[in-house]
Every structure is written in structure tokens, then in C-alpha cells.
């Protein structure tokens, strides 16, 4: 069944129970009331600190937005893009789109104006929902979006070129749309990117969403009493698919707008959170704050917190060793996945396997995996090959990219992940290196070609290669190896200033002035550079905890 039917079931079973809470700690009241007590106070006009909605409110808002879309001519198969920061409106808008039979297209809030336009056009989007943080970027490309028929703005002071979401849905019926949607219908497009740096539109059926929900709940045993603390951006498959486990059981979720260690600990305490999904940098920052006495755990009630899990990048075993010393009663899990496999869960370590930290784990619920050679044939245990995954969560295709689809999907339904891996004698899988050159820094993907193309625009640059260097906090940082033209000089300060025109998250953290090796066919020899600057092995080693 389509996943929005689970929302409708929750609205019937738990109509007056809290579904979603939004917290913006920057606007915390100066008084010493608790965050939960704040919810009982008379709302202050314009106060954005804490908001919540019930399951009934959630479903009603989704229905109203679906019916608003119908008034704008939306029909089954249309694409509606979402460009919002995390907020209490995000998920009702997402589910409203799904209820119409249209395809939801979440966009990365870090995209530049040109990247936004590229993705809107690539996915054949005809409608866009956006928030106040993006007005400037949309204005920049507005005259180049003739294919966008309507725009809805979520927030105050609606710009003249959009319709107000809040004002418009107030006049729409909350009647449930009857569209006859099945699991085989197309449901969502998520964007990823390969080594070329050009985003690919990943098309999933509704069955992928249902499988993600069932997989997450099977892995982590969510119950109706669990409370999930959601911090990562909802445009990404990771955060949303982990929340799906709460959706299945009608459990409350808290959307925290910020990643400061104190905010995370306070939210877990005040909202009685039992499940928290973190990225490596956030977990490290929390431990550092505790060890430096910036956070006094004695001031917080964390007795409800039962599970901490991490994904989106390789997890240093030493980090988990530190974590379990501070939080010895926590269960721990790590999750591996791709947007092409509907996010996390196709491989996971599994609660109770902390002795295997360093591995990504075994096949997840409903998934099959194999490690294969270039002919798609399984390699022997202990040998390195490419990781393949197969299951109901594998994408339908790369939208409008038949060649890339053929390269990624095998005839028997496996997805080639592009990650090189090996299996130990106990059947646990370890990542060895990435076949693709994507750099994962703080859970975000950086695409070297985009950065290289930009740096090559400097008059003194002859050649450049961008690779990832290990970093204890972020997992990896981008390093630019720059070969300077004969007769030119180039200082680090100058190239840093030049790169200020890049989005902040794309700027290299390190610059190395050296020759850039290329093979006889002209390709940069990045394995040589990684060996030179990173060491010979990137295999995470098992540690005893």
C-alpha cells in the first residue's frame, strides 16, 4: 500500500497525540521553563521556538495541500519540487504531493541558483514549494523557469511571484483524495551525483518508500512509545527513511533545527527522546563538549535514550569506543545505503554487534548483497570487489538517463553501488575504498569535478585534482592538489580567496602545491594521490570495545 495510508491510519488511531515537534533553539525563551512546558503555554504570535502538530493535524494538512495542488491542475505523474529547510510544514507537504499521485522532488537546500534550475528542469518539475531562505536564489533564476507553472511560498511576506502556502491551504477542503495509487506507481525523485558532478535524478516507486519504512522498524524495533530526534535535513533520504520507522508505529518525532551539542542533549532530555540518529561530526562534538565540561550530563534526564545510530559516512571505531564509555547503556547501530537504494538500511551492522565496529554489517531486512568482480560474478570471501545490493528499495531508474541506468542496474535486479568492499569470515562487510571519487565530509557529498573545474579558472593553475583526506571530525575533508603553470607563482592565501566564490561547503580545506599525475589516457591518477597523501589503506579495522 502507498505510505500515506500509514499516515491516515495514525490519524485514526492517534488523532490527538503529537506526531511532529519543531524546535528552533535560537529562539529559546529566556525563562527557565522546560521545552515541554512551553508547549502548554499560550502561543506567542510570531514565536518560532517550539511548534507541534497531532497526527490528525498532519493528515489534514496533507489532504489540504493535495487538494490545493488539484486546483492548480496537478495530475498523476506531475513533479512537484520541495525546497525547504527542516520545518513542521515539510512532511505534510511531502505527503500531500504523494496523495495526489504526483511525484515529490526534494531539493538540497545547499544548491546554488543554477543547481536548483538544473534539477528542476532535469526532473521535469512543473511546481515548486520554497521557503524564505531561497527567495534570493529563486529571484536569480526566475526568468529562466518557464516550465514552472506555479510556486508556493511557505513563510511570512510572500514574494509577488508566488502564492502563499499558508493562506491558500486555509481555503482548501480536508477531504481525502481518492486516486487509486499502487505500490508500482512512481512516487519520488531524489537527487544524487556521480564522479562527473552532475546530479542524477533517482526515480523510486511507492514500494520503495514502504520497504524503507518496514526495514527501519525491523532494524531498530520502534514502538509507539519511542520518540525520534531528527536532526539531518529532510531532503535527504537518510533522515526521512529513519523517521519512517516512527511513522509505522505512530511514534512522535522531534525536528531539531540546529546541531550544537548542548541543543542535541537538551532536546533529548526535554522531549524524552529514545532514538537519536547522528552524523560523525555531531557525535564527536557531543563527546568533546562532555569531556571539556561544557556539558554537564548531571543536568539532563537522558534515561529514555536507548539507541544511537550513525550513517552517511564511514564511522571511526574509536568514536564508538568513546561513545559507549560515556553512554554504556546505549544500543548502537550503523547504517549503509544510497539514495539509489532508498537511503539507509540495505546493509547495517545490527544492534548487538559492536564487536564488529568498523564493518558496515550484513544485508538489511528484505535485502540481498553480494561482492562481485567486473563481470558481476561473486568474488571469494576475503577478496575485494564491488558491493551489489538487491531488494524492493532499489530505484526504478535514473530519470531521463538510460545509459546511467544500464550501467548501475544488472539484468537480475542488483544495484552496483560503486563501493569496493570485502567480507570477513563471519559474513560482515567492510568498505575498502570508493570506486567513485565522491568525498563524504560531515555526511555531505562533495563532487571533485565541480571543484576542479572551478579552480582551473584561476589564471595560474595548470592542473588540479581534488581528493578526500581523512579527518577525525568530518570523516574526510576536500584537499586540492594544484599544479602551477610555468612562470607563475601562486600562494595559498590567493587561492583561498579565489575559492570564496564557491559555496562554503565546497571549498577545499587543504591546498597542496604539487604535480598532478595522469595516466596515458589522460585520466588523473587519484589512487596514486590517495596513497601519497592518505596512506596505503582506508580499510576500517575492527577494535575491541
pLDDT 10s digits, 382-421: 998 899 999 999 999 999 999 999 999 999 999 999 888 8
Task: Taking the CA atoms of 42, 46, 51 and 52 in sequence, report the sign of the dihedral they define.
Answer: positive
pTM of the model: 0.84
**Residue 544 pLDDT:** 33
Higher confidence at residue 409 or residue 198? 409
> Cα 361 from chain centroid?
20
Picking from 420, 415, 455, the residue whose alpha carbon sits closest to that of residue 192 is: 415
**Residue 438 pLDDT:** 76
Quickly list H helices, 123-162.
135-141
Higher confidence at residue 195 or residue 59? 59
- Integer angstrom CA distances of residue 268 from 85, 256, 274: 21, 10, 7
- Residue 334: what are its φ and ψ, rounded to 5°? -125, 150
Tens of pLDDT, residues 181-193: 999 999 999 998 5
How many distinct helices (H) and strands (E) make up the chain? 16, 26
Distance between CA 319 and CA 291 in Å, rounded?
Answer: 13
> Mean pLDDT across the chain, nearest whole number?
90
What is the H or E stretch that residue 212 is in? helix 206-220
49: left (phi over 0), alpha (psi -120 to 50) or beta: alpha
**Residue 531 pLDDT:** 85
Is 409 within 8 Å of 415 (Cβ atoms)? yes
469 strand-pairing partners = 477
Tens of pLDDT, residues 238-263: 888 999 999 999 999 999 999 999 99
pLDDT band for position 456 (50/70/90)?
Answer: confident
Tens of pLDDT, residues 505-545: 899 999 999 999 876 445 678 888 988 988 533 333 333 33
**Residue 34 pLDDT:** 61
Contacts of 171 (CB under 8 A, 6+ apart): none
Distance between CA 519 and CA 294 in Å, rounded?
Answer: 50
Picking from 442, 429, 441, 237, the residue whose alpha carbon sits closest to that of residue 340 is: 237
Distance between CA 523 and CA 359 in Å, rounded?
Answer: 31
pLDDT band for position 38 (50/70/90)?
Answer: low
Is 196 within 8 Å of 327 (Cβ atoms)? no
Radius of gyration, alpha carbons of the chain: 23
**Residue 402 pLDDT:** 96
**Residue 36 pLDDT:** 56
Give mean pLDDT, residues 207-220. Answer: 97
Tens of pLDDT, residues 102-119: 999 999 998 899 999 999
Burial class of residue 306 (count of CB atoms within 10 Å of its CB; 0-12, 13-18, 19+): middle
Percent of the chain with pLDDT over 90: 71
Picking from 236, 216, 237, the residue whose alpha carbon sits closest to that of residue 228 is: 216
Q: Where are the domains of the chain?
A: 4-311, 439-534
pLDDT surpassing 80 at residue 332: yes
Residue corresponding to grid cell 492548480? 72
3-class DSSP assignment, residue 474: coil
pLDDT surpassing 90 at residue 56: yes
Higher confidence at residue 44 or residue 383? 383
**Residue 37 pLDDT:** 58
Which CATH architecture describes the domain 4-311? 3-Layer(aba) Sandwich (3.40)
**Residue 537 pLDDT:** 37
> Cα 373 from chain centroid?
29
- Integer angstrom CA distances of residue 513 from 346, 483, 494: 40, 6, 13
Distance between CA 25 and CA 388 in Å, rounded?
Answer: 41
**Residue 522 pLDDT:** 54
Distance between CA 127 and CA 104 in Å, rounded?
Answer: 10
Picking from 85, 27, 17, the residue whose alpha carbon sits closest to that of residue 253 is: 17
313: cell is: 559516512
**94-103, 271-280, 376-385, 431-440: segment of lowest average pLDDT:** 431-440
DSSP 2-17: -THHHHHHHHHHSTTS
pLDDT surpassing 50 at residue 194: no
pLDDT surpassing 70 at residue 141: yes
Q: Which fold has domain 439-534?
A: GMP Synthetase; Chain A, domain 3 (3.30.300)
Give mean pLDDT, residues 460-469. Answer: 91
Is 148 within 8 Å of 120 (Cβ atoms)? yes
**Residue 316 pLDDT:** 73
Distance between CA 168 and CA 492 in Å, rounded?
Answer: 52
> Cα 428 from chain centroid?
24
3-class DSSP assignment, residue 106: strand
Amino acid at each position: 500500500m502507498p505510505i500515506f495510508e500509514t499516515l491516515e491510519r495514525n490519524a485514526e488511531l492517534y488523532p490527538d497525540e503529537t506526531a511532529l515537534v519543531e524546535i528552533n533553539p535560537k529562539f529559546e525563551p529566556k525563562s527557565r521553563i522546560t521545552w515541554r512546558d512551553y508547549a502548554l503555554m499560550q502561543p506567542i504570535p510570531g514565536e518560532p521556538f517550539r511548534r507541534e502538530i497531532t497526527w490528525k493535524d498532519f493528515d489534514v494538512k496533507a489532504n489540504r495541500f493535495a487538494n490545493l495542488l488539484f486546483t492548480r491542475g496537478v495530475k498523476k505523474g506531475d513533479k512537484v519540487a520541495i525546497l525547504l529547510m527542516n520545518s513542521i510544514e515539510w512532511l505534510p507537504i511531502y505527503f500531500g504531493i504523494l496523495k495526489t499521485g504526483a511525484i515529490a522532488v526534494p531539493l538540497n537546500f545547499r544548491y546554488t541558483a543554477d543547481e536548483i534550475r538544473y534539477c528542476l528542469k532535469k526532473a521535469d518539475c512543473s511546481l515548486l514549494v520554497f521557503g524564505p531562505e531561497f527567495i534570493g536564489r529563486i529571484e536569480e533564476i526566475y526568468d529562466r523557469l518557464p516550465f514552472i507553472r506555479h510556486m508556493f511560498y511557505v513563510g511570512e511576506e510572500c514574494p509577488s511571484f508566488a502564492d502563499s502556502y499558508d493562506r491558500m491551504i486555509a481555503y482548501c477542503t480536508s477531504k481525502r483524495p481518492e486516486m487509486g495509487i499502487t505500490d508500482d506507481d512512481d512516487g519520488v525523485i531524489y537527487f544524487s551525483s556521480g564522479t562527473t558532478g552532475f546530479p542524477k535524478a533517482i526515480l523510486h516507486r511507492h514500494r520503495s518508500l514502504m520497504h524503507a519504512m518496514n526495514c527501519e522498524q525491523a532494524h531498530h524495533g520502534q514502538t509507539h512509545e519511542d520518540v525520534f530526534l531528527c536532526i539531518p535535513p529532510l531532503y535527504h533520504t537518510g533522515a526521512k527513511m529513519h523517521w519512517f520507522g516512527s511513522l509505522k508505529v505512530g511514534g512522535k518525532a522531534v525536528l531539531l533545527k540546529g546541531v550544537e551539542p548542548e541543543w542535541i542533549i537538551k532536546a533529548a532530555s526535554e522531549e524524552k527522546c529514545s532514538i537519536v540518529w547522528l552524523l560523525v561530526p555531531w557525535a564527536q562534538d557531543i563527546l568533546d563538549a562532555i569531556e571539556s565540561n561544557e556539558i554537564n550530563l548531571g543536568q539532563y534526564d537522558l534515561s529514555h535514550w536507548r539507541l544511537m545510530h550513525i550513517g552517511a559516512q564511514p564511522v571511526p571505531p574509536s568514536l564508538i569506543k568513546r561513545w559507549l564509555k560515556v553512554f554504556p547503556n546505549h544500543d548502537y547501530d550503523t547504517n549503509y545505503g544510497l539514495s539509489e537504494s532508498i537511503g539507509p538500511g540495505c546493509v547495517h551492522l545490527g544492534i548487538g554487534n559492536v564487536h564488529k565496529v568498523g564493518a558496515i554489517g550484513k544485508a538489511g531486512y528484505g535485502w540481498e548483497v553480494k561482492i562481485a568482480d567486473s563481470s558481476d560474478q561473486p568474488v571469494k570471501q576475503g577478496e575485494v570487489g564491488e558491493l551489489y545490493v538487491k531488494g524492493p528499495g532499489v530505484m526504478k531508474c535514473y530519470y531521463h538517463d538510460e545509459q546511467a541506468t544500464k550501467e548501475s542496474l544488472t539484468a537480475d535486479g542488483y544495484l552496483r553501488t560503486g563501493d569496493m568492499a570485502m567480507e570477513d569470515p563471519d559474513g560482515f562487510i567492510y568498505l575498502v575504498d570508493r570506486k567513485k571519487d565522491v568525498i563524504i565530509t560531515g555526511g555531505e557529498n562533495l563532487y571533485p569535478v565541480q571543484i576542479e573545474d572551478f579552480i582551473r579558472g584561476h589564471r595560474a593553475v595548470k592542473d588540479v585534482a581534488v581528493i578526500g583526506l581523512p579527518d577525525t571530525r568530518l570523516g574526510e575533508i576536500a584537499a586540492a592538489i594544484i599544479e602551477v603553470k610555468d612562470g607563475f607563482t601562486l600562494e595559498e592565501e590567493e587561492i583561498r580567496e579565489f575559492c570564496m566564490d564557491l559555496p562554503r561547503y565546497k571549498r577545499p580545506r587543504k591546498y597542496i602545491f604539487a604535480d598532478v599525475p595522469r595516466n596515458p589516457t589522460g585520466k588523473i591518477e587519484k589512487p596514486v594521490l590517495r596513497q601519497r597523501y592518505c596512506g596505503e589503506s582506508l580499510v576500517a579495522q575492527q577494535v575491541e570495545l
